[in-house]
Chains A and B, each alone.
Chain A
Amino acid sequence: MAIYLDFEQKIKQIQEDIISAEVRHDEHAVEILQKDLEKEVTKTYKNLSPFQELQLARHLDRPYALDYINLMMTNKYEIHGDRHFRDDAAILCYLGYIGGERVLVIGEQKGRGTKNKIKRNFGMPHPEGYRKALRAAKMAEKFNLPILMLIDTPGAYPGLGAEERNQSEAIARNLLELSMINTPTVSIVIGEGGSGGALAIGVADKLAMMRYSVFSVISPEGCAAILWNDPKKVEAATKALKVTSSDLKEFDLIDDIIEEPLIGAHRDKEGAANALKEYFLSQVTSLRALSESERMEQRYNRLTSVGAFEEDV
């Protein structure tokens, strides 16, 4: 069953009408309704509030990392474990091919359905997840595989075991090591980019966001609780934090926005996967055109030039 948000109710109605028209084999009605649908979707998505974009980024029908992996990769093998503590199912690592390109894909996986959500810890990695990702990235460097990282997490897990095993260090180590990893790297926010837990696989040559994904320093819920002292101020916090892809592009904090199919990634997973795949392959091609030192210098400048400040001389 498809899930519809409150501002998608008209879209839902038209889609249901299309289905019944199809059942009646009324092709003329289907054609008209398809046009209506296009109009309605365009109208709805053109005027989304930041909070609505947040809801889309968290939409339960949105493609997760594993959906993209299944749709994009061929001859793929999942690799497991940090070699020290355990395998963290909230982070996936896959070796295989995208197009003709040998690749490593690292992705944060939220899990669909209660059982999988629990298995994946709702996409909130433990330190061993980040360490697995780094181990895989080092292997990719060794064999000169480009790395695609798919960000989709509410944040790194805040729990006892995570603290005991040094969540801070696991994230920090990835930030440091990924800045130096000598192979083309592309990170893409596919849904929710929650704080340090997202950034830990967000250090790359290129950072992009799917159109209806979000990225912020803290979850709007957390921000509302701390700064407004009122968890109900989520809408205000979402707006203030400037979490949408267009906000981040405007601030030059990301390189690109990947456009989703007209009807949204959550209604057309294949279309979304094709757009992402095309983007990734074109980025790898242009990164390969640079010399190693040019690529590393460009990455360093990209990472270290971030900031908004004034200076009195």
Chain B
Amino acid sequence: MSILDLFGNANKKTSKSDASAHWVKCKSCQSLMYYKEIEKQQFVCPKCGFHMRIGVNDRINILVDKDSFVEFDAGLKPVDPLRFVDKKSYVKRVEEGIAKTGRNSSVVSGECTINGIGTQLVVFDFAFMGGSLGSVEGEKILRAVTRAMEKRQGVIIVSASGGARMQESTFSLMQMSKTSAALARLAEEGLPYISLLTDPTMGGVSASFATLGDIIIVEPGALIGFAGQRVIEQTIGSALPEGFQRAEFLLEKGSIDMVVNRSEMKNTIADLLGIFLDQEPMTATRRREDSDDSDDDHEEEYKQSKILY
């Protein structure tokens, strides 16, 4: 089994071929739901609040103003510098990824508006080789950050990744320092970077740009960590505590800023960009009313989220 197989179910519920299957089962509460219905709910289970993994197109639709996304750098393609062959060749794995996703890499990047605020958006596609970080992905992030500096915009990176791409070995490892160096310059320019972590974000992605956001937002229940759970279990020789490396655990440990429901994601990001860039976001239709935060409410939300996992 490869690391990709570990997460083989990613996007299954939302891929085109499965869209014709009308019913979807919630992985958490096992409820059966009509596909069109769950699509309207942004692939969040209405019964238990479970956030299903979603593909790039759905992610972009949820986050950006309608028809505002323009993709850049789609012509970048991976090469095989190491002529890497394990049980399969890297070339073959890339071909399979392209056949599966219709794209050349695990990153889609471009410009969009979010409640009217011009933004550089980078979205990882877990369906392409487990969202792994290789040379093309690193280059797309560098270019997105560079464009943001030219246009005085913020950067959003939505991560969903098993980590660095082994088949590019040290080339992929050094994408970690490449992207981090670019973000250091963005920070010097006083421009915001919001990192949105989705299920799962691990390894070299987690240990570089994903944890460098001015604000780090995580979807409920998402698995986020440096080392994989199996590796940790082997190292410490015992099972991991429940909820370990989940979004709510990270919030409790102080590793992230907030856990945000998918339905609130776009407005939250737009508002934060507005605060950082001193721009007024366009009023959205389902704008959350400001209310005083209460300790009790927070406790409730936290308990509920714990029940899910």
Contacts and interface: CB of A to CB of B under 8 A. Distances in A.
Contact of A168 (B164, B184, B207, B232): B207
Contacts of A300: 181, 185
A216 B227 contact: no
B171 A253 contact: yes
A203 B169 contact: no
B204 A196 contact: yes
A310 B76 CA distance: 6
A265 to B, nearest CB: 21
Contact of B253 (A156, A166, A310): A166
29 contacts: A158-B226, A159-B227, A159-B235, A163-B226, A163-B232, A166-B255, A168-B210, A169-B212, A172-B208, A173-B211, A175-B180, A176-B184, A180-B188, A203-B180, A217-B172, A218-B166, A227-B3, A227-B86, A241-B166, A253-B170, A253-B171, A303-B178, A306-B177, A308-B79, A308-B168, A309-B77, A310-B79, A311-B73, A311-B76
Contact of B178 (A157, A227, A228, A307): A307
A226 B61 CA distance: 34
Given A158-B226, A308-B81, 4 more contacts: A158-B228, A169-B211, A176-B187, A309-B78
Nearest to B206: A168
B154 interface: no
Contacts of B172: 217
Interface residues of A, number: 56
A158 B2 contact: no
B1 interface: yes
A311 B79 CA distance: 10
Contacts of A55: none
- The size bracket of the interface on B is 35 or more
A167 B207 contact: yes
A250 B206 CA distance: 29
B163 to A, nearest CB: 9
Contact of B183 (A176, A236, A310): A176
Interface string A147-159: 0000000001111
A159 B171 contact: no
Interface string A293-313: 000000010011011111111
Given A196-B207, A253-B170, A309-B135, A203 B177 contact: yes
A286 to B, nearest CB: 21
A226 B225 contact: no
B85 interface: yes
Contacts of B240: 160
A42 to B, nearest CB: 28
Nearest to A241: B169
A248 interface: yes
A167 B163 CA distance: 14
Interface string B127-150: 000000001101100100000000
A237 B2 CA distance: 14
A128 B1 CA distance: 34
Interface in B60-93: 73, 75-79, 81-82, 84-87
Given A167-B207, A176-B184, A308-B171, A226 B75 contact: no
Interface string A3-33: 0000000000000000000000000000000
Interface in B244-281: 244-245, 253-255
Contact of B180 (A176, A222, A236, A243): A176
Given A159-B235, A309-B79, A173 B212 contact: yes
Given A172-B207, A309-B78, A223 B166 contact: yes
Given A172-B207, A304-B181, A199 B253 contact: no
A157 B225 CA distance: 12
A34 interface: no
A229 interface: yes
Nearest to A158: B227
A216 B170 CA distance: 5
Interface string A169-182: 10111011101100
Contact of A303 (B87, B181, B225, B244): B181
A172 B182 contact: no
A215 interface: yes
Most B-side CB within 10 Å, residue of A202, A303, A307, A310: A307
Contact of A162 (B184, B227, B228): B227
Interface string A233-249: 00011001111000010
A227 B208 contact: no
A160 B86 CA distance: 31
Contacts of B170: 215-217, 242-243, 248, 251, 253
A171 B211 CA distance: 9
B176 interface: yes
A195 B76 contact: no
B227 A172 contact: no
Contact of B177 (A158, A163, A175, A311): A175
A179 B181 CA distance: 5
B178 A306 contact: yes
B140 to A, nearest CB: 9
Nearest to B204: A196
Most A-side CB within 10 Å, residue of B181, B204, B208, B226: B226
B164 A217 contact: yes
B110 to A, nearest CB: 16
Interface string B174-198: 1111101111110110000000000
